[in-house]
Each structure stands twice: as structure tokens, then as C-alpha cells.
């Protein structure tokens, strides 16, 4: 049986400040829910735009009398004052993330993204990046910083740009554009170079960067010539070599742990395979001045 969950966070700043005009874009709240079987909302109307991204499961969205059966990667947008209803599947209830927003430029943004009249649903082949953007709005509100309104509006605009690019066709799944390969290459190197000392999961990295794991790994390898896993191992071994040379007071076990490898025997085996010497032999040669 599916366990129902519900989390939501609101913008800590009011939409209209005394003496100021309404902002071009103001995100009201954001959240995520794992619904229970047959969970239904509506028919009802909202006074703002409300956009949902389906992460898993299935459900149906009805707008203007038209029913849309949806699944993972589908996004449905509720327009202000539009009579709608939506219901999760009885056997595979959906989990989705949502943001609510309004503002003088909101209507233009949703039109450019592809949510025109009669088109309240858009689909993304790779929706992980969109999922991250939805989540970032929620986390921004949870942080309750003075800049929350500005940050959330920025994430919302990036989200709309993502749908606009998807509408325009974007890159083929197997043939990413050159600038996208370079951007993925840069992001992966930056992520691994800052996280190598911690346990690193390629799945977590893909989620953090907003890409499908297989797509990210394939695209990175096309540019770098090695997989992210191989790049990470070499990075750790190079960092370990540096520590063996510059921190002689550290044991091999401490060096191994410092570069994110908790198994010192595995570190030693891979170090010998990469450099032709065991960590201990390498350090001995360094101390003797032979290397």
C-alpha cells in the first residue's frame, strides 16, 4: 500500500509590498506529494498558476472538459480561474512536485513555454533537470532567506526556459549539441573535483545536476574519453599520490579515507595498477629522493 506524503513551503515575502507595484513574477509556494490511490482534487478553481510535474505513477487531469491521462515526465498547468480536477490512479498513484506563481509576466512565460489554450500538458523525455528546479524552489523557501523571492523567481524562469527549449526540439537524446556536451563535461568535473573526498554516487550526481544517469555518463564519455566512474577513480588516485608525497605523517589508511576510498586495500591495489608501485613503496622512494 502506498504511503501518502505531503510537503509544502511558502514564499516568506508577500507578493505586494507597500508602495511597490506587483512583481513581474512571484512564486507563491512549492511542494511535493506522494498521493494515495484515487486521491482527487476538484472540480475547483485557483486564483494563480499552478504547475505540476509527475515524477512517478499515473493519474488524470481534466481541464475545460478534456481529460488527460498522465505519467512520469508529464507536466500539467492550471490557469487562474480555470475549472479543473485531477485524480491519482487507483493502482499506481502518482507522485508529483508543484509550484504556484503569479505576476505580470507569468502569462507570457507560460505561453512561451508552450502552455497555450488547449495545451495544458507538456512532456519531457528527460525530466530530471525540471525536477531539480521544482525542488530548488521548495528548498529556497525552506531556507527563508531575504532573497527567497528573487531566487525562486529565478528558478521558475529557468524552469520555463527548459520547457521552451524542449518545445523547440532541443538535442536528440543520443546526439547532444556541442555546447551541451561541454557544459555537462564542465559540471561533472566540477562536481567530482569538489566531492571526491566523500562517498560519491553517480546516481546522486545525476540527480543533483538534473540529468538522466545514462545520458550524463554517455555524454561525458563522448567529451572526456572516460566514464565519470573512471574519471573519479583517477582523480582520487592522483589526490592520494599528492597526499603520500606532501603529508608523510598520514598512514596509507588515512590517505585512502581522505580521498573518499574507505577500503585501503582497494586503494593500494588501484594505486599499484595506476602508478606501478604500492603506496608504501611510492612513499619510500619519495623519502629517499628517488622519485
Map the chain to HEC letters: CCCCEEEEEECCCCCCCCCCCCCCCEEEEEEEEECCCCCEEEEECCCCEEEEEEEECEEEEEECCEEEEECCCEEEEECCCCCEEEEECCCCECEEEEEEEECCCHHHHHHHHCCCCCCCEEECCCCHHHHHHHHHHHHHHHHCCCCHHHHHHHHHHHHHHHHHHHHHCCCECCECCHHHHHHHHHHHHHHHHHHCCCCCCHHHHHHHHCCCHHHHHHHHHHHHCCCHHHHHHHHHHHHHHHHHHHCCCCCHHHHHHHCCCCCHHHHHHHHHHHHCCCHHHHHHHHHHCCC
- Which one of 69-83, 110-124, 187-201 scores highest in mean pLDDT? 69-83
Give the pLDDT score at 186: 87
Evaluate if residue 165 carries a pLDDT over 70: yes
Give the pLDDT score at 19: 56
Give the pLDDT score at 121: 94
For the segment 28-44, the average pLDDT, to the nearest whole number, is 95
Give the pLDDT score at 227: 94
Evaluate if residue 18 carries a pLDDT over 50: yes
Q: What angle do CA 190, 155, 116 make, to 5 degrees?
A: 130
For the segment 210-215, the average pLDDT, to the nearest whole number, is 84
Give the pLDDT score at 81: 93
Q: What is the CA radius of gyration of the chain?
A: 24
For the segment 234-255, the average pLDDT, to the nearest whole number, is 95
Which one is predicted more confidently, 206 or 86?
86
Alpha carbons within 13 A on the beta-carbon side of 49: 24
CATH number listed for the domain at residues 5-168: 2.60.120.280
Evaluate if residue 133 carries a pLDDT over 80: yes
Give the pLDDT score at 182: 82
Which one is predicted more confidently, 184 or 57?
57
CA 263 to chain centre: 30
Evaluate if residue 265 carries a pLDDT over 90: yes
For the segment 39-65, the average pLDDT, to the nearest whole number, is 95
The percent of residues above 70 in pLDDT, for the chain, comes to: 91
CB 40 within 8 A of CB 79: no
Give the pLDDT score at 65: 87
Residues 170 and 130: their CA atoms lie apart, in Å, by 14
Evaluate if residue 171 carries a pLDDT over 50: no
pTM summary value: 0.61
Residues 124 and 215: their CA atoms lie apart, in Å, by 14
Q: At the top level of CATH, which class does the domain 230-288 belong to?
A: mainly alpha
* Nearest residue to 159 via CA among 119, 120, 106, 84: 106
Which one is predicted more confidently, 117 or 51?
51
For the segment 47-53, the average pLDDT, to the nearest whole number, is 96
Strand pairing of 26-34 and 84-88? unpaired
Evaluate if residue 230 carries a pLDDT over 90: yes
Give the pLDDT score at 60: 97
Give the pLDDT score at 172: 45
CB 148 within 8 A of CB 141: yes
For the segment 219-239, the average pLDDT, to the nearest whole number, is 94
Amino acid at each position: 500500500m502506498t504511503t501518502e506524503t505531503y510537503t509544502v513551503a511558502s514564499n516568506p515575502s508577500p507578493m505586494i509590498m507597500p508602495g511597490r507595484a506587483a512583481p513581474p513574477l512571484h512564486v507563491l509556494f512549492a511542494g511535493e506529494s506522494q498521493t494515495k490511490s484515487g486521491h482527487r482534487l476538484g472540480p475547483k478553481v485557483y486564483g494563480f498558476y499552478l504547475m505540476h510535474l509527475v515524477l512517478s505513477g499515473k493519474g488524470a487531469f481534466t481541464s475545460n472538459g478534456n481529460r488527460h491521462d498522465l505519467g512520469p515526465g508529464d507536466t500539467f498547468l492550471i490557469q487562474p480561474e480555470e475549472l479543473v480536477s485531477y485524480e491519482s490512479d487507483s493502482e499506481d498513484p502518482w507522485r508529483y512536485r508543484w509550484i504556484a506563481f503569479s505576476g505580470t509576466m507569468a502569462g507570457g512565460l507560460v505561453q512561451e513555454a508552450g502552455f497555450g489554450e488547449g495545451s495544458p500538458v507538456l512532456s519531457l523525455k528527460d525530466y530530471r533537470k525540471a525536477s531539480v528546479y521544482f525542488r530548488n524552489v521548495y528548498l529556497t523557501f525552506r531556507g527563508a532567506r531575504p532573497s527567497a523571492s528573487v531566487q525562486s523567481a529565478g528558478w521558475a524562469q529557468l524552469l520555463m526556459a527548459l520547457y521552451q527549449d524542449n518545445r523547440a526540439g532541443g538535442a536528440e537524446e543520443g546526439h547532444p549539441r556541442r555546447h551541451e556536451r561541454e557544459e555537462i563535461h564542465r559540471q561533472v568535473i566540477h562536481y567530482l573535483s569538489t566531492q571526491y573526498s566523500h562517498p560519491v554516487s553517480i546516481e546522486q550526481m545525476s540527480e543533483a545536476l538534473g540529468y538522466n544517469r545514462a545520458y550524463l555518463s554517455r555524454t561525458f564519455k563522448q567529451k572526456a574519453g572516460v566514464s565519470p566512474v573512471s574519471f573519479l577513480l583517477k582523480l582520487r588516485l592522483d589526490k592520494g599520490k599528492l597526499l603520500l608525497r606532501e603529508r608523510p605523517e598520514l598512514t596509507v589508511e588515512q590517505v585512502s579515507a581522505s580521498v573518499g576510498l574507505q577500503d585501503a586495500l582497494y586503494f593500494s591495489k588501484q594505486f599499484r595498477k595506476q602508478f606501478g608501485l604500492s603506496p608504501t613503496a611510492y612513499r619510500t622512494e619519495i623519502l629517499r629522493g628517488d622519485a
